[in-house]
């Protein structure tokens, strides 16, 4: 089973990057940015969180430096983002985008948490860096677009799902469960939590 | 006298971190952020300035990575921030918060300036990094909250007090005064300047 | 010819820094920031893009750490920014500022691209870092001032001119043209493109 999952990882990764990038494209197009603006917002939404995580961890090279082809693909797509959005709007149900985004959230939270643990971060800090790596691309997107970050204003759980999954991963690692198995369980949990929270309209409570 | 002061430093540090964090909690609660949002804003207000300073100095580990317990404490407090705010509002006079914030400004400006000098920064740059380390957590807080930074829009002296104190520290170091003595005089001056500026309603003039 | 050009570079650099800094002063004064706010905005507009580029490249020391005198000059100017703006407004035609800004854009794009190539970045990433180094000081300025970045909302080509010039530089380097000659041609092209785009009211199209 494991080798199959490992082969699947790049696909899930691609799905996550596409989902994040598309959410950037949508924000940029709603504000009538030109093609360059669409590229910038798509790019920071896809890679901004991981880049911030790597700056905090003092880690180089960045993912997008090692995978330049993703950046070029986003650039080309940003030139025809209008057509792509129209096409996706017709072909994909809205639910597909939510699932793709949840998969990105799940995978990137756990890979970020794992990178932080590898870098010797204490566990609570590692769980925070997990959330930052997965969810802060959207924060940078919103700041660049002139909005208060959705992560802060929207009380539907997003960072909370990532945080919960990061802790499950940390605990599974502490009890020395196999890496791939830990990854699947904890990122799968994030996807389930996120989709359940949308389905059942859960809300993060305000502070007591 | 010196050993006593050194023993006091962690307490002043804690008072400063609490004051900064609480100012973040207040901002986040005014905007009705959920508990996760309250944590994020409290955290960046307390540690954002020092983190930016350390990124500029290429310095690791960050303070909050070495003192994870502070982060966990802020997390726990953010879950009950409403209760804490109510309690502080009843028990502490508003003046106490202003004094605590001024103590944070004073101490963090001088420790940041000292770190920058230790890293071999030229003196003017060191004084800027002193101000950044103490005052830019609030700038990041305001940007995340969707406001124009108070540091820029409010003409009551804040960065200016920090800047003046940083220069006194630099001069005391140049004349080779004892480290602890320099720290006390210059951070004390910042506290006095800041409180006097509030008391007497000083304003930073516009550019001529 | 080459030695003459090399001698001219520091002057063009100074013209670019002044132009960027002045655009920051103007933004800050329109918002009635005090002298400290004017300094902060002038400084980040002049050096923010290059600093972000250096953080991404993990490159130290920053330009403004090595050239502290520029920072001190900006500080002194920010105290009398009102007078300076009035004077420039009377003496310099608006066109002079546009040309100075275009020269800054041209020079800093190519020097940033060259630094990125030297650091071993792949070519597309190098062209992006070229644009970031030259154009993102203005983005940080706008975010601090509470505006949506002009780079994103204004469809007159700015980043696009920089991007085109960066690619010409990369191609000239691939065919092993002399460094200085490459620099002159590609940064000159950016200046011409930028001024032509203003003169002929070109617009970056929206995504298709």
The chain A residue lying nearest C147, using CA atoms, is A146
Judged by CB atoms closer than 8 Å, whether chains meet at C143 and B143 is answered as yes
Whole-number pLDDT of residue A10? 85
Q: What is the pLDDT of residues A59-118, one digit of tens each?
A: 999 999 999 999 999 999 999 999 998 888 888 888 898 999 999 999 999 999 999 999
Partner B contacted by C20 (CB < 8 A):
no
**Least Cα separation, residue B208 to chain C (angstroms):** 4
Torsion of CA B119, C57, C53, C100, to 10 degrees: 100
pLDDT at A22: 93
Q: Taking the CB of residue A32, how many other CB atoms lie within 10 A of it?
A: 12
Contact yes or no for A116/A129 (Cβ under 8 A): yes
> Comparing C-alpha atoms, which of C197, C202, C167 is closest to residue C182?
C167
List subunits contacting chain A, requiring 3 or more Cβ pairs under 8 Å: B, C
**pLDDT of A149 strictly over 80:** yes
Q: Which pLDDT belongs to residue C2?
A: 55
- Do the Cβ atoms of C148 and A146 come within 8 Å? yes
Whether a cis peptide bond, with omega within 30° of 0, leads into B102 is no
Contact list, C204 vs chain A (CB under 8 Å) = 34-36
pLDDT over 70 at B5, yes or no? no
Asked whether the CA dihedral C198, C202, C204, C206 is positive or negative, the reply is positive
Q: What is the pLDDT of residues A5-55, one digit of tens each?
A: 677 788 889 999 999 999 999 999 999 999 999 999 999 999 999 999 999
Query: In this structure, are residues B138 and B151 in contact, taking their beta carbons and an 8 Å threshold?
Result: yes
* C48 vs C62: CA distance, rounded Å: 10
Across the interface, do C79 and B208 touch by the CB < 8 Å criterion? Answer: yes
Mean pLDDT of the B115-126 span: 96
Number of cross-chain residue pairs from A and C with Cβ atoms under 8 Å apart: 75
Judged against a pLDDT cut of 80, whether residue B60 lies above it is answered with yes
| Residues in CB range of B132: below 8 A, 6 or more apart | B49, B52, B53, B56, B112
Asked if the Cβ–Cβ distance from C124 to A29 is below 8 Å, we say no
Picking from B141, B146, B152, B155 by the largest number of C CB atoms within 10 A of its own CB, the best residue to mutate is B152
Tokens of A98: 């939510």
Q: What confidence score (pLDDT) does residue A93 get?
A: 85
Side-chain-side CA neighbours of residue B174 (13 Å): 8
Instruction: State whether C62 and B55 contact (CB < 8 Å).
Output: no
How large is the average pLDDT for residues B79-84? 92
- Per the prediction, chain B carries an average pLDDT of 93
Contacts of C155 in chain A (CB under 8 A): 34
* % of chain B surpassing 70 pLDDT: 98
State whether B33 and A205 contact (CB < 8 Å): no
Neighbours of chain B (3+ CB pairs under 8 A): A, C
The number of C-beta contacts closer than 8 angstroms across A and B is 76
pLDDT class for B142, splitting at 50, 70, 90? Answer: very high
What's residue B108's pLDDT?
97
Which of chain B's residues have a Cβ under 8 Å away from the Cβ of C54? Answer: none
Chain C residue with CA closest to B159: the answer is C36
Burial grade of B133 (CB within 10 A; 0-12, 13-18, 19 or more): buried
- Residue among C30, C60, C63, C65 with most chain B CBs within 10 A, to mutate: C65
Q: Do C29 and B139 touch (CB under 8 A)?
A: no
CB contact under 8 A, C207 and A35: yes
**Which pLDDT score is estimated for B3?**
60
Q: Do B68 and A125 touch (CB under 8 A)?
A: yes
Q: For residue C206, what pLDDT is reported?
A: 85
**Tokens 């900064």 map to which residue?**
B20
Query: Measured between CB atoms, does B187 come within 8 Å of chain C?
Result: no
Range from B47-56, B71-80, B86-95 carrying the lowest mean pLDDT: B86-95
pLDDT at A5: 66
What is the tens place of the pLDDT at every residue in B143-190?
Answer: 999 999 999 999 899 999 999 999 999 999 999 999 899 999 999 999
Chain A window 115-144: which residues touch C at a Cβ cutoff of 8 Å? 143-144
Q: What does the mean pLDDT of chain A come to?
A: 93
Interface contact flag, A71 C159, Cβ < 8 Å: no
Residues on chain A touching C205 (C-beta within 8 angstroms): 34-35
Residue C4's pLDDT is: 67
Residues of chain C under the 70 pLDDT cut = 1-5
* Neighbours, chain C (3 or more CB pairs < 8 A): A, B
pLDDT tens-place string over residues A167-208: 999 999 999 999 899 999 999 999 999 999 999 999 998 888
Q: Distance (Å, rounded) from C-alpha B150 to C-alpha C140?
A: 16
Is residue A4 scored above 70 in pLDDT?
Answer: no
Q: Which pLDDT belongs to residue B4?
A: 67
* SS3 of chain C: CHHHHHHHHHHHHHHHHHHHHHHHHHHHHHCCCCHHHHHHHHHHHHHHHHHHHHHHHCCCCCHHHHCHHHHHHHHHHHHCHHHHHHHHHHHCCHHHHHHHHHHHHHHHHHHHHHHHHHCCCCHHHHHHHHHHHHHHHHHHHHHHCCCCCHHHHCCCCCHHHHHHHHHHHHHHHHCCCCHHHHHHHHHHHHHHHHHHHHHCCCCCCCCC
Give the pLDDT of residue A94.
83
- For the segment A137-150, the average pLDDT, to the nearest whole number, is 96
* Residues whose CB falls within 8 Å of the CB of residue A70, separated by 6 or more in sequence, listed in order: A17, A46, A64
B81 Cβ under 8 Å from any chain A Cβ: yes
CA atoms within 13 A on the CB side of A71: 19
């Amino acid at each position: 089973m494991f080798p199959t999952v490992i082969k699947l990882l790049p696909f899930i990764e691609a799905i996550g990057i596409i989902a994040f990038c598309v959410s950037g494209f949508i924000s940029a197009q709603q504000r009538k940015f030109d093609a360059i603006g669409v590229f910038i917002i798509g790019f920071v939404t896809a890679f901004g969180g991981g880049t911030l995580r790597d700056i905090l961890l003092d880690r180089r090279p960045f993912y997008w430096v090692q995978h330049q082809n993703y950046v070029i693909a986003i650039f080309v797509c940003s030139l025809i983002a209008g057509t792509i959005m129209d096409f996706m709007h017709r072909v994909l149900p809205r639910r597909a985008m939510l699932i793709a985004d949840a998969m990105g959230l799940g995978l990137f939270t756990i890979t970020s948490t794992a990178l932080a643990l590898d870098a010797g971060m204490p566990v609570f800090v590692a769980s925070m860096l997990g959330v930052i790596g997965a969810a802060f691309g959207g924060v940078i997107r919103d700041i660049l677009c002139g909005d208060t970050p959705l992560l802060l204003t929207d009380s539907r759980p997003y960072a909370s799902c990532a945080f919960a999954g990061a802790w499950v991963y940390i605990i599974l690692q502490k009890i020395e469960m196999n890496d791939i198995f830990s990854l699947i369980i904890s990122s799968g949990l994030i996807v389930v939590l996120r989709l359940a929270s949308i389905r059942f309209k859960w809300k993060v409570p305000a502070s007591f």
